[in-house]
Amino acid sequence: MAEIKTMEINQGVEAFRKTPGAVLYDVRREEEYATGRIPGSRNIPVQMAAKMLDEVPDKKTPLFIYCLSGGRSHRAAAFLIRSGYEDVTDLGGINDYKGELEV
């Protein structure tokens, strides 16, 4: 079984942008996502993480996951690894992100 990779969020967003075919997931609640998000991210709240399995059926797709402070992103990343995904990176929380946000 693959292991969850971790990366500091600012470095991780750069890695996401440079990785062909990568998907960036924000696993916060919809209301949180609406207040500001990293450009290019998709929102699936952690309690609905199973939707990611339908959205990204290829288990080799590089997935980058973040939330507010890191707890939910870790849970979602662990779920994806257990579901067979091979390239999952937990970026922790958007609280530490220094780049531009979109609303």
Which residues make Cβ contacts (< 8 Å) with residue 11, sequence separation at least 6? none
Phi, psi for 49 (deg, rounded to 5): -55, -25
DSSP state of 37: B
Active-site choice (67, 80, 91, 94)? 67
Any catalytic annotation for residue 67?
Answer: yes
Element containing residue 33 per DSSP (H, E): helix 30-34
Which residues are marked as active site? 67
